Amino acid sequence: MMLKQLMKNPAFLTGFLFLFGMFAASLVYYAGWGNEVPKLDLLKNEEGDFMSPPYSPSEYPPLGTDNFNRNVLLLIIVGAKYTIGAALVIMLFRVLPSVILGLVVHFYFKPFRRIIDHIVYAANYFPPTLLSFLLLNWMMLEGELLNPVDFPYDFSDKLLFYLAILIIISIPSLTLLFSNEYDKIMKEEFIDSSKVLGATKRHYIMNHIRPFILPQILLVSIREFMIIMLLIAHLGVLKIFIGGAVLDEDIFQNSVLVSLSYEWSGLLGGWWQYLWTTYPWISFIPVVFFTLTILSAKLMLIGATSVMERLVRENKEVHEGKVNSFEGKEPFEFVHKA
């Protein structure tokens, strides 16, 4: 029912279709052609003379070529599954453990809440981009450049380490967020009636917390996806790519770092230097796709918020209705012997 209402919301549906379309197009390309993006042959102008690459979007529609004379559109499509897929995996493994840990903190660590709150709030002042950079730089960049032959970590090692770091750094703050949500729910009036009737923790979780927290999980997940996409983009500018990078020589005979998976942060980091050259479109294209992806998630958030607010209102009315149904009645009835 909730999914049906979400899909009927125009804002949510628009954002979902863009994200799903990019991810699906990337998978289709991978199924048909793998991750290979071939270099193009030289193009000729109207006079029949060869033109020097890279080619602008007007010379080679729709997005031109890059500093290796590869089709930029194909690079974006190939990298979409790694970029969006990594963000979804990080989001999932950030949110779900935090939901469970939030319950543990709420029910079993109440005496230590002030200490936990102060520690987490203090840690939040440290920029996540800088923290991620410090933890990932030795593995993703420096080791590869210092000793590229004997470097012990392969693509899968770097990918798993990248995902693990981006997941772990946000679990404490998300755990505290969900724990605070549980605190608010447990202060509702209908909770008092359950306490009087001797409800267990399992009863609270399944019958009172679950209907209210499920919409919040969806909203928090979409927000986290947006935050993760921004973090991935920032790390790309700092030359920290998903799965690492290799050194290669481009058409200008420059040794540059190239993402192993063509994911968007690698494209952004590898092309950032062309922003101040005569080839600025190369730098702007990954920025545009990062922006479109985040805007799509924002549309999903707007649509989901309107749907969830209505569902939470309905859940609250149902719970309050159950409580009101006991008003004016005795909680127990005694059988009197004649």
Predicted local distance difference test score (pLDDT) of residue 334? 38
Let me know the angle formed at the C-alpha of 218 by 175 and 135, rounded to the nearest 5 degrees.
Answer: 45
> What homologous superfamily is domain 2-36+56-322 in, according to CATH?
MetI-like (1.10.3720.10)
Kind of pairing between the strands at 255-259 and 245-249: antiparallel
Predicted local distance difference test score (pLDDT) of residue 220? 94
Predicted local distance difference test score (pLDDT) of residue 207? 73
Q: Provide φ and ψ at 137, rounded to 5°.
A: -60, -40
**CB distance 200 to 331 below 8 Å:** no
Burial class (CB in 10 A: 0-12, 13-18, 19+), 107: middle
Predicted local distance difference test score (pLDDT) of residue 274? 86
Spans of all domains in the chain: 2-36+56-322
Helices (H), the chain: 2-8, 10-33, 72-108, 113-123, 128-137, 143-146, 155-168, 171-185, 189-196, 201-203, 210-237, 264-271, 280-324
**CB distance 245 to 63 below 8 Å:** no
Predicted local distance difference test score (pLDDT) of residue 44? 84
298: closest CA among 7, 8, 63, 19? 19
Predicted local distance difference test score (pLDDT) of residue 210? 82
List, for the chain, all residue ranges whose pLDDT scores fall below the cut of 50. 142-148, 323, 325-338
**Cα separation, 228 vs 92, whole angstroms:** 11
End-to-end C-alpha distance for the chain, whole angstroms: 53
Q: At what angle do helices 72-108 and 264-271 cross, to 10 degrees?
A: 120
Q: Provide φ and ψ at 258, rounded to 5°.
A: -120, 130
**Cα separation, 186 vs 128, whole angstroms:** 31
**Cα separation, 254 vs 237, whole angstroms:** 18
Joined together, the tokens standing for residue 320 give: 């309050």
Chain length of the chain: 338
Give SS3 for 326.
Answer: coil
Predicted local distance difference test score (pLDDT) of residue 183? 86
- b/e sequence 112-134, b meaning 16+ C-beta within 10 Å: eeeebeeebeeeeeeebbeebbe
